[in-house]
Amino acid sequence: MGTSVETLQFQAQTRQLLQLVIHSIYSNKDIFLRELISNASDALDKLRLESLVDSAPDVDASDLRIELEVDKVARTLTVRDNGIGMTREEVVELIGTIAKSGTASLLEKIKAAKDAEAAQSLIGQFGVGFYSAFMVADEVRLRTRRAGTDEGTLWESDGEGTYDISTVDDLPVGTSVTLHLKDADSEDGLADYLAEWKIRQIVKQYSDFIRWPIRMPVERGAEDGVTVTEMQTLNSMKALWAKARSEVTESEYQEFYQQISHDWADPAEIIHMRSEGTFAYDALLFIPSQAPFDLFSHQTKRGVQLYVKRVFIMDDCEALMPNYLRFVKVHTLPG
């Protein structure tokens, strides 16, 4: 049994940010899935940490995972995890209000951005996360139960200023976010996010190196008139830069280099380093064996690929690579 539904208002700044996200900021709406998967990964990290310090029987870290589920009839896409989950109070605090995340400053920076690309870069730095779901969905439903508690929470909104929240029973530990998707619209940058190939493409581009398996049931033909469905893992989880150099073989380096560079010659040099201090990072840099053909072109793009918590953030981050090293074409730097 669940309690009666309570309708609440988004915080004023949250409403402003929602409208900017939905109508103005992103030119690449695929980002929404990256953000939801990142949130799920964080929840799994938190549950794993709690399982190491908490002996509560409700904390089960034996099979941590992220699951994606498509319902083509209902036009829904669900992102589900069995991570730490949230209480009702945490749902209201984290989704209904975002004052703690520097919203006022973020809004001013977005409004001051001179073009869509600059605004998108700002969003990538601050992380809109959950709110990006409203770019592709006309309704979002969240179900969650925190580990160690008995009551679950249901949250629903169309992103227009209010949300409904209620307490429900019989929810598993973790969080599921179900998006009722808008119709595909190429002019508005809305792809068909029910398509298996599109989901695979987004996961491969942004979330391939997430430490937890991202699984999805996939139809694989029929046997005796019955559709056969199998659960497939979509991501490789092989973030070489997060390992010690002694744990990575030369063949793994070569395979990774070829995968991301499309250069079938071996690199001249591999630099694998780790820095710890005020800023901690790992870097994996590849020096090509031949100079790129556009080395002296003014239009040449340069910079490293930037990952944060194994999530792809941006290509060609110029601030992390000086111009005189622009020939270092293929590299990965998680920050």
pLDDT tens per residue, range 176-206: 999 999 998 888 778 999 999 999 999 998 8
Q: Is the pLDDT of residue 45 over 70?
A: yes
The structural architecture, per CATH, of the domain 6-233 is 2-Layer Sandwich (3.30)
> For residue 78, what pLDDT band results from cuts at 50, 70 and 90?
very high
Q: Is the pLDDT of residue 275 over 60?
A: yes
CB neighbourhood size of 27 (10 A): 11
pLDDT number for residue 228: 85
Chain mean pLDDT for the chain: 80
**How do residues 113-132 score in pLDDT, each as one tens digit?**
655 555 555 554 444 678 88
Question: Which among 324, 322, 330 has a CA at the least distance from the CA of 283?
Answer: 330
Domain locations in the chain?
6-233, 240-334
Cα 238 from chain centre:
16
Alpha carbon distance 240, 85 (integer Å) = 29
Average pLDDT over residues 220-230: 79
- Out of 2-16, 34-48, 66-80, 104-118, which region has the weakest mean confidence (pLDDT)? 104-118
Residue 180, beta-bridge partner list: 76, 139
SS3 107: helix
Topology classification of domain 240-334: Ribosomal Protein S5; domain 2 (3.30.230)
Question: Which among 194, 214, 221 has a CA at the least distance from the CA of 311?
Answer: 214
DSSP at 303: -
Alpha carbon distance 88, 144 (integer Å) = 9
